């Protein structure tokens, strides 16, 4: 990836996020199916709907930037999701797998928080205020999802002991 200015770097980040969000929409149904806790299944369903909204917001950002909505392979997300898939393949549904799935989901959230924060900052610096606001909205939701996962872990993880 060669970028010559911050605008190009912002576009790269948005394409990367766009791909990451699409990857997540493919992974969440698998995670839901592997979960044994009904609360965790519900959390994955809720996050899937939220992720679909994140994709729509990114498409709005592309329009603001006057760029085509394109995906650029997000290797980081691919790696995180592959780790989650490996856990699912190697383990039967159980309280322990639920704990592992929550951990995998939180790693995804942390990656997204870092990525959205970076993109938001670039948008602010480039005075794409509307894009920055959209990215901040998603960033806020990612943070809330992470907090919900932490609370769920605090409730469910003791069952894995």
Task: Say if CB 153 and CB 102 are below 8 A apart.
Answer: yes
Would you call 104 helix, strand, or coil by DSSP? helix
Provide the residue ranges of all domains of the chain, joining segments of one domain with +.
6-160
Is the Cβ–Cβ distance between 25 and 48 less than 8 Å? yes
Q: Are 103 and 86 in contact (CB under 8 A)?
A: no
Q: Which tens digit of pLDDT belongs to each residue from 107-160?
A: 999 999 999 999 999 999 999 999 999 999 999 999 999 999 999 999 999 988
Q: How many residues does the chain have?
A: 161
pLDDT above 80 (res 98): yes
Q: How far apart are the C-alpha atoms of 93 and 30, rounded to whole Å?
A: 12
> Rounded to an integer, what is the distance from CA 109 to the centroid of its chain?
5
DSSP state of 65: T
| Lowest-confidence region among 9-23, 51-65, 83-97, 120-134 | 83-97
Per-chain mean pLDDT for the chain: 96
Q: What is the mean pLDDT of residues 24-44?
A: 96
For residue 39, is pLDDT > 80?
A: yes
pLDDT of the residue at 161:
85
CATH architecture of 6-160: Up-down Bundle (1.20)
Q: How confident is the model at residue 92 (pLDDT cuts 50, 70, 90)?
A: confident
């Amino acid at each position: 990836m060669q970028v010559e200015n911050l605008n190009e770097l912002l576009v790269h980040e948005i394409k990367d996020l766009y791909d990451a969000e699409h990857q997540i929409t493919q992974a969440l149904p698998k995670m839901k199916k592997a979960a044994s806790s009904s609360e965790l299944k519900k959390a994955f369903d809720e996050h899937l709907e939220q992720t679909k909204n994140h994709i729509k917001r990114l498409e709005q950002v592309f329009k603001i930037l006057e760029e085509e909505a394109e995906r650029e392979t997000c290797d980081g997300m691919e790696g995180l999701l592959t780790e989650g898939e490996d856990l699912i393949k190697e383990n039967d549904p159980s309280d322990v797998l639920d704990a592992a799935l929550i951990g995998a989901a939180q790693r995804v959230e942390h990656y997204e928080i870092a990525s959205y924060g970076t993109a938001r900052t670039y948008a602010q610096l480039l005075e794409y205020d509307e894009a920055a606001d959209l990215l901040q909205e998603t960033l806020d939701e990612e943070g809330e999802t992470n907090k919900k996962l932490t609370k769920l872990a605090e409730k469910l993880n003791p069952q894995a002991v």
